[in-house]
Amino acid sequence: MKRIYLDNAATSWPKPEAVYRAVDRFQRQLGAPAGRSSYAEASEVERMIRSCRKKIADLIGASDPSRIIFTQNGTDSLNLALHGLLLPGDHVVTTVCEHNSVLRPLRFLAERGITTTYVPCDGHGYVGPEAVAKAITPKTRLIAVIHVSNVTGAVQPAEAVGRIAAERGVLFLLDAAQSLGHVPINVGSLGCHLLAAPGHKGLLGPLGTGVLYVAPGVEEHLIPIRQGGTGTRSDEDRQPDSLPDRYESGNLNVPGIAGLEAGVTHLRQLSESHILANSRALVQRLLAGLTGLPGLRLFGPPSGADRVGLVSLNVASYDPQELAAVLDANWRVQSRAGLHCAPRMHAALGTSPSGTLRLSLGHFSTQDEIDSTIDAFTEICRS
Ligand SMILES: Cc1ncc(COP(=O)(O)O)c(C=O)c1O
């Protein structure tokens, strides 16, 4: 039976052929570190890293590629943003929809005198911008908001939140883990000061890659939470201030970035409207096929609403973990079950403690795979 991979919200798979080739070529033929040496292979690596930064900057509408910081994953990017920025006495406005990679750093920082307000969401998982505005206090330094929910697929009103942040003079961190590569993003029109994302999900790079975009001026407030060798200004024991070195200490994950460069190149060959239209068509097909099946409950925005290719559901009398195991064992439909690292979201949806089963589509998902998945659920629900 063919594998039907619907766990792309965790990490995308398969990757474009060019990604496999780029990683293989780096490992077998280049094998040089970035920013440290000048022989031919090292120079090629340097050019590739520059190209990757530039392509990601272009993708999000950032004019200066040195503002794209390479990290290990989305969590690492969010940790740099939160730990690097927040000081005792600061207040943060965030939402109940956030992933643990925001919730846990904020919980940790609470012990250092940083307070947080969690804005609620509606029954579909949408956060109202008015509620975000209401939660701002004179001490608010940061608004941290998930762009697309990894539980319901709801696209949050990031542009409206960005306007509120600008009006109130507050910094805005956008968690684009489930949006970058899936929905068009322009950091200028969203008004975001920091954008955190993995490289291994919608950007189609390998695991172990991530990025943080830092808007002009923000680096003055964002301390580097790691220090070390950068291959630049080696005579000084002080961390360099220049970007991206300020935040990129130690050897980079060059094989990962080689793959990421190829992934982003592939993505840019597909138009944003094609990606959106394809994922919308597939998710509508999936929702239409699942709606009304006996005992099956769908969560998140209704069909046709602002959402990405991600669907959460439960089937009566099945624990989500058991359902995931049945789907995999009998139909090779590979999903994820549980809380998806978003415990407050499940409390809001009333799906704690078992959570939901999540089907997340990727750039390579096909209509046939969606139809086979619908057939599998039809059999489960009717048996
Ligand atoms: C919304 C959201 N934020 C952050 C992350 C963390 O990303 P990573 O797995 O790359 O650390 C995820 C991962 O699933 C996510 O869905």
Residue 201, domain CATH? 3.40.640.10
244 and 305 within one domain: no
220 and 103 within one domain: yes
204 and 300 within one domain: no
328 and 235 within one domain: no
User: Which residue of 99, 102, 212 sits with most ligand 1 atoms within 8 Å of its CB, as the best mutation to test the pocket?
Assistant: 99
User: Which residue of 76, 103, 121, 178 sits with most ligand 1 atoms within 8 Å of its CB, as the best mutation to test the pocket?
Assistant: 178
Q: How many residues does the chain have?
A: 383
The string of pLDDT tens digits covering residues 255-307 is 999 999 999 999 999 887 788 888 999 999 999 999 999 999 999 988 767 88
Count of structural domains, the chain: 2
The mean pLDDT value for 123-134 works out to 95
Q: Which residue's alpha carbon is at the smallest distance from atom 15 of ligand 1?
A: 177
CA dist list (Å): 108 to 84, 94, 99, 135, 198: 13, 15, 14, 21, 22
CA dist list (Å): 177 to 130, 145, 148, 229, 269: 24, 11, 8, 28, 21
Query: Last residue of some domain: 223, 247, 268?
Result: 268
203 and 297 within one domain: no
Atom of ligand 1 nearest to the CA of 146: 1
Closest by Cα among 321, 322, 317, 312 to 290: 312
User: Looking at the predicted structure, is the pLDDT value of residue 241 above 90?
Assistant: yes
Distance from the first to the final alpha carbon of the chain: 21
Query: Last residue of some domain: 268, 283, 312?
Result: 268
Query: Could you give the percent of the chain with pLDDT greater than 90?
Result: 91
Two tokens, residue 262: 């190829």
Q: What is the pLDDT of residue 307?
A: 85
CA of 44 to the centre of ligand 1 (A): 31
Active site residue 341: yes
192 and 124 within one domain: yes
Backbone angles phi, psi at 196, to 5 degrees: -110, 135
Query: Last residue of some domain: 214, 249, 268?
Result: 268
371 and 236 within one domain: no
Domain containing 365 — which CATH number? 3.90.1150.10
Atom of ligand 1 nearest to the CA of 175: 3
The residues lining ligand 1, judged by C-beta closer than 6 Å to any ligand atom, are 9-10, 73-75, 99, 101, 146, 150, 175, 177-178, 198, 210
CA dist list (Å): 290 to 123, 148, 371, 379, 382: 19, 22, 10, 11, 12
Q: What is the pLDDT of residue 37?
A: 86
The string of pLDDT tens digits covering residues 295-331 is 999 999 887 678 899 999 999 999 999 999 999 999 9
86 and 193 within one domain: yes
Q: Report the DSSP pairing between strands 210-214 and 194-198.
A: antiparallel
Backbone angles phi, psi at 251, to 5 degrees: -60, 135
90 and 222 within one domain: yes
Q: What is the pTM of this model?
A: 0.97
170 and 30 within one domain: yes
314 and 188 within one domain: no
220 and 117 within one domain: yes
The string of pLDDT tens digits covering residues 160-213 is 999 999 999 999 999 999 999 999 999 999 999 999 999 999 999 999 999 999
Mean pLDDT of the chain: 96
**Catalytic residue (choose from 97, 121, 341, 381):** 341
Domain range for 356 is 4-14+271-382
Helix runs in the chain, H state only? 17-25, 40-60, 74-85, 100-110, 129-135, 158-168, 187-190, 254-269, 272-290, 320-331, 343-349, 367-382
